[in-house]
């Protein structure tokens, strides 16, 4: 597989991962703190299903293709790449945290979502912008 | 009672995923350290680390996802989560994680039965 094709697939998988993560973050931020309406409960179930079937596999693919492209392109151990990997790891961890919270909220209808979830979408966007900047500018 | 049993079964399934991730992370770390790195430095086979490195990197990232998911989903303490994460950086540490998770699963299974 050519390097450019690998990069194209990596970018495509990234889009699917980030858009799914953003949708999950925004959904969780909108959940009522007391009780769930039937519509909210259905939305939570649908988001968790999408996360398991689409967003998480896209994340694994994005990371696998990214690491392979970096290895094929001979980018190791450039500083920008190491920072990018650290940020991708942090985003994967954040994905796990949101996924876990979604499971808790779905299992317990009376559980209030953490208040910091209001910033979750901003966090995803900020990390994504940093990842894009590092990939395009390759500073250093 | 039925709801509690379902919740325990869901947690056991989540720990199953984390056990697999721990095992994969530990195995690929050992392959990288004790096979790929010597092949590179003794026989000059750069390809060994070029292949094993990204594979371990992916296994580690999937472990991080599974760990944070289980930790936030089931209310782990910061200390428990950090201990599992630090163990993943050490050779054989992932196997220690896996054994600890298996014990936790057994406790949950006993609770579900009893």
**pLDDT of residue B97 exceeding 70:** yes
Mutation site, B53, B55, B72, B84, interface A, largest A CB count within 10 A: B72
pTM: 0.91
Average pLDDT over residues A16-22: 98
Q: If pLDDT is split at 50, 70 and 90, which confidence band does A47 have?
A: very high
pLDDT of residue B92: 95
> Which structure tokens are listed for B94?
């992932």
Taking CA–CA distances from B70, the nearest residue in chain A reads A100
Q: A128 vs A140, which has greater pLDDT?
A: A128
Q: For B64, which of A64, A93, A100 is closest by C-beta distance?
A: A93
Taking CA–CA distances from A82, the nearest residue in chain B reads B57
Provide the domain count of chain B.
1
- CB neighbourhood size of B25 (10 A): 28
**pLDDT of residue A85 exceeding 70:** yes
Locate the domains of chain A by residue range: 3-137
Q: For B70, which of A60, A72, A100 is closest by C-beta distance?
A: A100
ipTM for the predicted complex comes to: 0.88
* Inter-residue long-range contacts of B8-12, CB under 8 Å, 24+ positions, other chains counted: B8/B108, B8/B109, B8/B111, B8/B112, B9/B112, B10/A103, B10/A107, B11/B73, B11/B74, B11/B108, B12/B105, B12/B108, B12/B109, B12/B112
> Which structure tokens are listed for B97?
């994680």
pLDDT of residue A20: 98
Closest CA to A14 of A63, A48, A52, A76: A63
pLDDT of residue B50: 86
Question: Residue B73: which domain range?
Answer: 2-113
Average pLDDT over residues A75-91: 93
pLDDT of residue B6: 80
Who contacts B84 (Cβ-Cβ below 8 Å, separation ≥6)?
A: B22, B67, B97, B100
pLDDT of residue B2: 64
Closest CA to B81 of B63, B99, B95: B63
Average pLDDT over residues A133-140: 92
């Amino acid at each position: 597989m050519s390097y450019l094709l690998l990069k194209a697939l990596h970018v495509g998988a990234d889009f699917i991962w980030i858009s799914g993560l953003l949708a999950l973050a925004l959904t969780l931020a909108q959940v009522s703190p007391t009780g769930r309406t039937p519509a909210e409960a259905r939305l939570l179930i649908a988001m968790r299903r999408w996360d398991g079937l689409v967003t998480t596999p896209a994340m694994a693919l994005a990371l696998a293709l990214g690491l392979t492209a970096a290895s094929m392109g001979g980018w190791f151990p450039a500083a920008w790449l190491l920072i990018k990997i650290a940020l991708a790891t942090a985003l994967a961890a954040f994905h796990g945290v949101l996924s876990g919270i979604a499971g808790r909220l779905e299992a317990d209808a009376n559980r209030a979502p953490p208040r910091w979830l209001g910033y979750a979408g901003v966090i995803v966007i900020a990390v994504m912008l940093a990842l894009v900047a590092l990939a395009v500018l390759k500073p250093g | 009672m039925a709801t509690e049993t379902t919740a325990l079964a869901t947690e056991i399934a989540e720990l199953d995923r984390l056990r697999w991730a721990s095992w994969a992370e530990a195995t690929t770390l050992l392959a990288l350290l004790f096979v790929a790195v010597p092949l590179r430095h003794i026989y000059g086979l750069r390809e060994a680390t070029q292949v094993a490195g990204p594979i371990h990197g992916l296994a580690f990232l999937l472990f991080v996802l599974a760990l944070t998911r289980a930790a936030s989903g089931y209310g782990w303490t910061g200390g428990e989560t950090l201990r599992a994460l630090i163990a993943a950086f050490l050779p054989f540490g992932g196997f220690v994680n896996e054994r600890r998770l298996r014990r936790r699963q057994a406790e949950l299974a006993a609770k579900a039965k009893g």
